[in-house]
Each structure stands twice: as C-alpha cells, then as structure tokens.
Structure 1
Amino acid sequence: MGNVMWGQGAGNKTNSNCHDSSLKAGEDETLVVLHDYPSPDISEPIFRMGEKLRVLSQEGNWWRVRSVQSGSENYIPNNYIAKVYHGWLFEGVVRQKAEELLSLPENRVGSFMIRESTQQRGVYSMSVKHRSIQHYKIFRLENSWYYISPRLTFQCLEEMVNHYSDIKGKDCEDQCVLQHSNRICVITLAESHPILQNGRSIKSINYQISAGCSRLHNRVSGKSKRGGQFLTEFAPLCRITCTDGVEYTIYSCIRGRLLEVNEDILERPELLLGKPSTEGYIAVILPKIEESKTVTNGLLSREEYESVVSKRTKSTQPEPQPEPEPEPC
C-alpha cells in the first residue's frame, strides 16, 4: 500500500509543497483493485484485489487500464477500483476494505494508507499494518493544520506522511516494549537496534523533544498517576546521538501516560548500551486500564521479532561465490 512506517524501510518522500488543494492535481492516475475482477464465480480474474493499475482512458463507468505488475491491458468497471494519489492517499476506501487490502501478504508490517472519508470530503484517517490493522483518526485544527498527536501538528498531509515515514521507517531501528503484570510498560531498545551494534558509543541523550516539550518536565502524582504526559504510539521520547554523529529518535510505540524517564542514562549512557532491558531502560509508560490488555497488539511478539531479525540477517549476507576452477598446468 503506502510508504512503510513501522520497522521497515521508508518509501520515497512525498513532495514537500504543502497545499492540500493540490493533493490530487497533476498526478498520473493510479487505481487499486478492490475486488477480484471478474468474480472467481464467473471466470478466472483478470485483475486481483490489491493490484495496482495505470489509467489509459476512461469511458463512462469503465476504465481502460494497464496492470503495474503484469503489464496486461483490459477494462474494469468503476465500482471495482479506488483512486490512489502519491501512493498513500486512497479515495473511497472504507475501513473494512482498508483492512483487507493491508492484510494482503505482499504488504509488510508498517504498510499504511491515508483514507479520505467516503461521507465527507477533506476528512481523513490513517490505517497501519502492525501485527493487526490499527486505525488512527487525523484531526484538523481551525488553522487547517493536521495532527494525530496534539503535541505534533503538520501544515499538510504530505508533511505528516513524511514525518511518520521517517520516524517509523528506518531499517532495523527496532525498539522493545516490556509489559509487566501491573500494566506498566518499559520502553527500551531491542538488541538489534544499530545503537547497540558494532561497539558503538553514545555522545548524548536528550529528552528535550521540542522548544516547548521536555520529557523531563513530567509530573506524576497520586495512586492514579495523574498529570503524566499522554503519549500516542508515534510520540518521540528522546533523541540519542552516537559519537559518529548519527542521531536516532526513540518513540513511545504505545499509547499511555508517561510515568518516568530514566535520567540515569543521561550521565551514564553505558547503562543503555550494556543493560537496555534493566538499568538502561529509556522510559516507563502506563496504558489506560481498558487498553492494558490490547496495547501491545500491534507489536511483534518475541518469536515474531526473532523471525524478522533472522530473515533480515539472511537477506543481508552475501551469497557464497563459487571457488574458481584450478587452471591447467
């Protein structure tokens, strides 16, 4: 579907020109197939659900198209397709159909789409493939800026997509959420995160997210833990800069109240490098009671994570080269 956002490689950035009125202007028309056509009950389908099509022409309620995958050309009726802009903005796709499309095997964990409401133009939501399909409402301020988390606003949808593609789309920047029986979740780095690889060292850790937001200024009180900053899955927790100059942003990964950040790693970053799941943790988050059993549903289990890392390692290993045959004397 769209660019990849979670734990995989980000796709190409969108145009940074922030004018929503031009979202659909000047784009080569691309369609996505919503249902197998024709129906398998009638004959062998020409186009399969999820297949991407290039528009050749439109004739009434029919489109003449070329399959991006196979290159075959044919006609398809209007009620079997949805328009796609920029590879991520889908027009006329309802929530259930979004789940069907994102669940197709060719869509990796992290694939996403922005859906424009079928009832109201200019109203959008985001659907993301984690272990299950998650949906997020995109809110709009009076000044027309957009946000998912109220602490982070964007002038246009392209800017939002670029941001979330960057934060969740860098290869191997894996994080770990450790949930305890009392609901609290400890956020830290997974052992495959590049910060923990190849003997790297940390130059600085900064909990100052923006000019007006610091995770250090988090005040929690009472048994109900009131006052903690509320975080969404995409909320940044801190920025870590390695001695080689590369900076990494660490995210909350789950929804909930920020209980604390680990100030010890500010003075002793070696704790994060050596003991990321214990003394070197990054933050502690408390999900809502009603969400405590489902808050990690969109994340990989330990077994799934190990499988992903194993496949990733194999894919990056060079193929063995045949030994040269000995030359005759």
Structure 2
Amino acid sequence: MGNIMRGGSSTGKVNTDSSLKGSEDDMVVVLQDYPSPEIGEPIYRMGEKLRILAQEAYWWRVCSVQTQKENYIPNSHVAKVYHGWLFEGVERQKAEELLCLPGNRAGSFMVRQSARERGVYSLSVKHRNVKHYRIFRLDNSWYYISPGLTFQCLEDMINHYCDFADGLCCALTSPCLSGMTPPSDASTGAPPVVMRRNFDWKKIDRGQLVSTDNHSDNMVSYGVRNSIAAYVSFSGSQNSAQTRAQSRKKKSKSLYALPENSLGNIDYEADF
C-alpha cells in the first residue's frame, strides 16, 4: 500500500470527524460510583450513561438514560461521550475498567481523546484483554494507526476497522457500553449510533427474491426483489470480502512518502 491513502465510504451512521462535538454533547458516562459505597448507596454507577440537563460549575444536573433518575453529580465523576464512541479525557486504566464491564463483548471499543493534549486520540479495543493503539495524525489532518492505511477522518477509520482487523487484535464490533443503553424512541430523539454492517447475500433465499407471488410473506417488494435478483445473478460466487473492499476503497495520490510497512501486527501502543 505504501503511498496509497485509503478511506471508507461514508454510508454508515457514524458522524464525520468535522463535527465530532455535535448533537450528542449532552451525553456523559459515569467513571466511578457516586456517591462512593463508603458514604452510602450509589445513585449512579460506573458505566451508566447520563444525559446532561444543566451544567452548574462543579455540579451537573443529569438524568440516567437507563433509569430516568434525575440528580446532581460532580463533573469530575463523568466523561463526555460524543457520537457513542468518542470519550473525552478517559485515561488508559479507566478505559480498561469500562471496557471490562458486563455488556461489552470482544471487539467493543472506544476512541479516547487525551485530557492533556487537545486533538490527540487513542483507540482502545477489548479482546482477550484490552489493547490500546495510538492514533497518529499527518500534517494534512489524515489519521492512521498503521502507516500503510490512512484515513481522511476518524469516522472512516472506525468504519474500516469494523469490517477488517488489518493488524488490530480483532475487528471492531460495537462502541463501549452501547449494550447498556436502551433503544431510543424515534419520537423523542435521534436514534443511537449504529455501526455499519454489510448485508450477507449468502443467507438470502434466492427463490424468495425472484418470487412473483404478491401475497407471499416477503418483506421485499416485487420491484426491489427484481433489482436484488439481478444483482445476485451478476455477482455470482464472487468473494464477499473482496466486494466489500472494492466498494469501500477511496484511493487518492499521497503527497507524503510513507514508509513501506506490512499490516501484520500493529505495534503502536498508546501512552495515555
């Protein structure tokens, strides 16, 4: 790959890097039980997601996403979360504690923004243990973990690694703590972030796709079924992974002479 820069197509529902702190700047995650068990029964527990109702200096009024319980919490006990996967100011050890909470599975991840240096990010991924990767940034603001794979924004990077491990310990599956957040009501707010997954044509009954029975119990309309059937007939037995790769690639000439590097095992351990 060398000098080739790749970025995934932006058809998923992860927001772009140009607006990292957009519509979800009122969401926080609890970093430690509050109050501590030594003082009394905790009102909010570590890993619980809260919606900010009001920010009053040191104390923030919040509402639990899970229980709808409203109360105050010190801002030192929470971290802001943007777009479901970007955690602000979460240190390495705390990231490991959050990713090891029940509800997170292999491939659960978070992108962490350094509390000490603005614009510095790391990727933390749960696998057999929690692995941390430093996210580097070029002078033209493109991002990379491995020099052979660069991305125009963090969204493209996350989308790519959701489909391919490409040297990480495993492919990304879902944002940290996403399994602990109940589905949003479409009538009351925006839907939660959903990581893009590719459609598996091998699991589709081709007989249903080309069926002309208008009364059949089929979720696909007659016209759409014909279109899909045409696609299937042309795709044949083409390897689905190759198809995904070709559809997601967005290549452009690089102005940067990046070193040749195999993707093998990425060894860029984050230092925060």
Measured in 2, the distance between the counterparts of 1:136 and 1:120 equals: 16
Q: 1:124 matched to which residue of 2?
A: 121
Alignment partner of 1:162 is 2:194 = no
1:174-213 aligned at under 5 Å gives the runs 202-204=237-239
Measured in 2, the distance between the counterparts of 1:23 and 1:61 equals: 24
Query: What is the number of residues matched between the two proteins?
Result: 184
Shift of 1:230: 1.7
Which amino acid is the alignment partner of residue 48 of structure 2? Answer: E
Q: 1:24 matched to which residue of 2?
A: 21
Of 122, 145, 164, 1:148 maps to 145
Measured in 1, the distance between the counterparts of 2:92 and 2:57 equals: 27
User: Contact (CA 8 Å) 1:30, 1:84: kept in 2 or not?
Assistant: yes
Q: 2:262 matched to which residue of 1?
A: 230
Measured in 2, the distance between the counterparts of 1:170 and 1:110 equals: 5
Change (3 A) 1:206 1:85: closer
1:200-229, Cα deviation, whole Å (9 max, x unpaired): x843586998798xxxxxxxxxxxxxxx95
Q: 2:220 matched to which residue of 1?
A: none
1:114-157, Cα deviation, whole Å (9 max, x unpaired): 00112100000000111100101101011110011212211111
Measured in 1, the distance between the counterparts of 2:14 and 2:242 equals: 29
Which amino acid is the alignment partner of residue 13 of structure 2? Answer: K
Q: 1:308 matched to which residue of 2?
A: none
Measured in 2, the distance between the counterparts of 1:100 and 1:155 equals: 30
Higher strand share: 1
Measured in 2, the distance between the counterparts of 1:206 and 1:115 equals: 31
Alignment partner of 1:106 is 2:103 = yes
Q: 1:75 matched to which residue of 2?
A: 72
Q: Which has the larger radius of gyration?
A: 1
Change (3 A) 1:68 1:153: same
SS at structure 1 position matched to 2:76: helix
Change (3 A) 1:211 1:54: closer
- Unaligned stretches of 5+ residues in structure 1: 1-11, 172-193, 213-227, 233-254, 257-287, 289-329
Measured in 2, the distance between the counterparts of 1:169 and 1:37 equals: 30
Q: 1:65 matched to which residue of 2?
A: 62
Measured in 2, the distance between the counterparts of 1:211 and 1:80 equals: 41
Measured in 1, the distance between the counterparts of 2:173 and 2:36 equals: 39
- Unaligned stretches of 5+ residues in structure 2: 1-11, 165-170, 175-199, 205-235, 252-259, 268-272
1:257-301, Cα deviation, whole Å (9 max, x unpaired): xxxxxxxxxxxxxxxxxxxxxxxxxxxxxxx9xxxxxxxxxxxxx
User: Contact (CA 8 Å) 1:13, 1:162: kept in 2 or not?
Assistant: no
Alignment partner of 1:136 is 2:117 = no
Change (3 A) 1:54 1:145: same
Measured in 1, the distance between the counterparts of 2:64 and 2:146 equals: 37
1:147-203, Cα deviation, whole Å (9 max, x unpaired): 1121221111122122223443579xxxxxxxxxxxxxxxxxxxxxx89989xx843
SS at structure 2 position matched to 1:69: coil
User: Contact (CA 8 Å) 1:126, 1:136: kept in 2 or not?
Assistant: yes
Could you say what the CA RMSD is over the residues aligned between the two structures, in angstroms?
A: 3.2
Measured in 1, the distance between the counterparts of 2:133 and 2:55 equals: 33
Alignment partner of 1:85 is 2:82 = yes
1:270-285 aligned at under 5 Å gives the runs none
